[in-house]
Amino acid sequence: MLHVTKRVTINRPRQEVYRFWRDLENLPRFMQHLESVRVIGGQRSHWVAKAPVGKVEWDAEIVAERENELIAWRSLEGSEIRSEGSVRFVDAPADRGTELSVELEYEAPGGSLGATVAKLLGEEPTQQIRDDLRRFKQVMETGEVVLSDGSLEGAGQGATNQRSAQAPTKAEVSR
């Protein structure tokens, strides 16, 4: 299992940041590898993601939750992906918004070979989470993911997804 911990400070109130993240169907708005998240009842959800080997799907459940403080989850038995983790929300010092911390344990499809391929393609979880949190901060603070003409959409997106400097496509703007 890979272990990843990342943190970001977002200049928005903790309750607002928590509420946006807790609506799991919002997550594909800033997590590029996610195609969809659908709540299937209670604390369970169905996830579809792009992977180096195609698409992967899994079901997950929220195993612990404290409103405006914590969401913890794990994938369900029999899922294609084995993962568990948590997101913590705390007030940032000096009234600077919310400090969000993500902790993830993840087993790559295909084991260590799958993890190596993902890393080479820029789709390794550490890189993805760093880039996802940067985009999440943008969505929360500006209402959208900010792209510039010269943007390669994050260093962790891999050479196969990079393009020369140009205006974003309509699809990129609508994300």
pLDDT in tens, 93-117: 999 999 999 999 988 655 555 555 4
Q: In the beta sheet, which residues pair with residue 10?
A: 98
Q: Give the C-alpha separation, 98 to 8, whole Å.
A: 8
Query: CATH assignment of 2-144?
Result: 3.30.530.20
Q: How far apart are the first and last CA of the chain?
A: 31
Is the predicted pLDDT of residue 120 greater than 70, yes or no? no
Query: pTM for this one?
Result: 0.77
* Residues 6 or more apart in contact with residue 57 via CB below 8 angstroms: 46, 47, 48, 49, 79, 80
Q: Give the C-alpha separation, 41 to 62, whole Å.
A: 11
Model pLDDT, residue 164: 47
Instruction: Looking at mean pLDDT, say which of 60-69, 112-121, 136-145 comes out highest.
Output: 60-69
